[in-house]
Chain A
Amino acid sequence: MSSQDIPEENLPAERAADEHAHAHGDVSVAHEKDPFADPGLPPHEHRIQDIDERAAKRSERTVALLFTLSMLSTVGFIASFVTIPADRIVYIFPLGHISGLNFALGMTLGLALFCIGAGAVHWARTLMSDEEMTDERHAIAAEPEVKAKVLADFKQGAKESALGRRKLIRNTMFGALTLFPLSGIVLLRDLGPLPEDKLRHTLWSKGKLLVNMNTNEPLRPSDVAVGSLTFAKPEGLEEEDHEFQTEIAKAALMIVRLQPENIKDKRELEWSHEGIVAYSKICTHVGCPISLYEQQTHHVLCPCHQSTFDLADGARVIFGPAGHALPQLRIGVNDEGYLEAHGDFEEPVGPSFWERG
Chain B
Amino acid sequence: MSTTTTPNPSGAGAPGRSREKAPAGEKIADWADGRLGIYSLAKANMRKIFPDHWSFMLGEICLYSFLIIILTGVYLTLFFHPSMNEIEYHGSYVPLQGQLMSEAFASTLDISFDVRGGLLIRQIHHWAALVFLAAMFVHMMRVFFTGAFRKPREVNWLFGFLLFVLGMFTGFTGYSLPDDLLSGTGVRFMEGAVLAVPVVGTYLSFFLFGGEFPGGDFVARFYSVHILLLPGIMLGLVVAHLILVFYHKHTQFAGPGKTNNNVVGMPLLPVYMAKAGGFFFLVFGFIAVLAAVASINPIWALGPYRPDQVSTGAQPDWYMGFSEGLIRVMPGWEINFWGHTLALGVFIPLMIFPLVLVAIAVYPFIEAWVTGDQREHHILDRPRNAPTRTGFGVAWITLYMVLLVGGGNDLWATHFHLSINTITWFVRVAFFVAPVLAFIVTKRICLGLQRRDKDKVLHGRESGIIKRLPHGEFVEVHEPLSQEAMHTLTAHEQYQPAEIGPTVDENGVERKVKGPQKLRAKLSTAYYGEDGQIPKPTAEEYKEITSGHGHH
Interface residues of A (CB under 8 A from B): 1, 4-6, 8-9, 11, 13, 15-17, 19-20, 23, 31, 33-42, 81, 86-87, 95, 98-99, 101-107, 109-121, 123-125, 128-130, 132-137, 139-140, 188, 191-195, 198-199, 213, 231, 233, 239-240, 242, 244-246, 248-250, 252, 281-282, 285-289, 291-292, 303-307, 317, 319-324, 350-357
**A28→B510 CA distance, assembly (Å):** 53
Judge whether B259 and A38 touch: CB under 8 Å: yes
The contact sample of 15 A-B pairs, CB cut-off 8 A, is A4-B51, A106-B289, A106-B291, A124-B272, A133-B264, A137-B261, A192-B210, A246-B213, A248-B306, A287-B192, A303-B312, A305-B328, A354-B199, A354-B341, A357-B339
Judge whether B207 and A304 touch: CB under 8 Å: no
Q: How far apart are B484's CB and chain A's nearest CB, in angstroms?
A: 6
Judge whether B345 and A285 touch: CB under 8 Å: yes
Can you name 20 extra interface pairs (CB under 8 A) apart from A38-B257, A288-B185, A354-B340?
A: A11-B482, A35-B539, A40-B256, A98-B295, A105-B116, A106-B288, A109-B120, A120-B281, A124-B274, A128-B274, A133-B49, A134-B264, A137-B262, A192-B209, A198-B211, A244-B86, A352-B346, A353-B202, A356-B341, A357-B336
Choose among B124, B267, B275, B314 the residue that contacts A120 (Cβ–Cβ < 8 A). Answer: B275
Lowest 6 CB-CB distances: which A-B pairs, in order?
A106-B292, A286-B192, A120-B278, A114-B285, A117-B281, A323-B334
Binds A, one of B27-35, B436-444, B486-494: B486-494
**A129→B269 CA distance, assembly (Å):** 11
Contacts of B491 in A (CB 8 A): 36, 38
Q: A106-B293, A140-B376 are in contact. Are A285 and B275 (CB under 8 A)?
A: no
Q: Is B113 an interface residue (CB 8 A)?
A: yes
Q: How far apart are A318's CB and chain B's nearest CB, in angstroms?
A: 10
Q: Is B363 an interface residue (CB 8 A)?
A: no
**A350→B201 CA distance, assembly (Å):** 14
**A112→B488 CA distance, assembly (Å):** 42
Judge whether A110 and B253 touch: CB under 8 Å: no
Judge whether B331 and A321 touch: CB under 8 Å: yes
Q: How far apart are A214's CB and chain B's nearest CB, in angstroms?
A: 11
Contacts of B289 in A (CB 8 A): 106-107, 110-111, 114
Query: Closest chain B residue to A231 by CB distance?
Result: B308
**B: contact size bracket:** 35 or more
Most buried by B among A114, A192, A303: A192
Q: How far apart are B462's CB and chain A's nearest CB, in angstroms?
A: 10
Most buried by A among B193, B259, B480, B542: B480
Q: Mark B293-333, 1 if CB is under 8 A from A, else 0.
A: 10100000000011111111110000000000001111111
Choose among A20, A86, A249, A322 the residue that contacts B307 (Cβ–Cβ < 8 A). Answer: A249
Contacts of B424 in A (CB 8 A): 306, 319-320
Contacts of A282 in B (CB 8 A): 307-308
Q: How far apart are B302's CB and chain A's nearest CB, in angstroms?
A: 13
Judge whether B198 and A354 touch: CB under 8 Å: yes
Contacts of B485 in A (CB 8 A): 6, 8, 11, 16
Q: A114-B289, A306-B328 are in contact. Are A191 and B208 (CB under 8 A)?
A: yes
Judge whether B212 and A198 touch: CB under 8 Å: yes
**A140→B313 CA distance, assembly (Å):** 51
Contacts of A231 in B (CB 8 A): 308
Query: Closest chain B residue to A115 by CB distance?
Result: B285
**A304→B487 CA distance, assembly (Å):** 56
Instruction: List the count of A-B residue pairs having beta carbons below 8 Å apart.
Output: 394
Q: Is B507 an interface residue (CB 8 A)?
A: no
Most buried by B among A118, A198, A354: A354
Contacts of A246 in B (CB 8 A): 211-215, 307
Judge whether A95 and B293 touch: CB under 8 Å: yes
Choose among B213, B314, B328 the residue that contacts A287 (Cβ–Cβ < 8 A). Answer: B213
Tell me the chain B residues, 113-169 only, with Cβ under 8 Å from chain A: 113-114, 116-117, 119-120, 123-124, 152
Q: A289-B310, A352-B195 are in contact. Are A81 and B341 (CB under 8 A)?
A: no
Q: Mark B162-203, 1 if CB is under 8 A from A, else 0.
A: 000000000000000000000001001101110111111111
**A307→B463 CA distance, assembly (Å):** 60
Choose among A33, A99, A101, A118 the residue that contacts B539 (Cβ–Cβ < 8 A). Answer: A33
Q: Is B92 an interface residue (CB 8 A)?
A: yes
Most buried by A among B119, B199, B211, B274: B274
Judge whether A286 and B189 touch: CB under 8 Å: yes
Judge whether B212 and A354 touch: CB under 8 Å: no
Choose among B188, B262, B345 the residue that contacts A134 (Cβ–Cβ < 8 A). Answer: B262
Q: Mark B90-125, 1 if CB is under 8 A from A, else 0.
A: 001000000010000000000001101101100110
Choose among B113, B206, B275, B339 the residue that contacts A121 (Cβ–Cβ < 8 A). Answer: B275
Contacts of A17 in B (CB 8 A): 479-480
Q: Is B26 an interface residue (CB 8 A)?
A: no
Q: A99-B119, A240-B100, A303-B313 are in contact. Are A38 and B346 (CB under 8 A)?
A: no
Judge whether A39 and B288 touch: CB under 8 Å: no
**A121→B279 CA distance, assembly (Å):** 7
Q: A4-B51, A19-B483, A246-B214 are in contact. Are A137 and B378 (CB under 8 A)?
A: yes
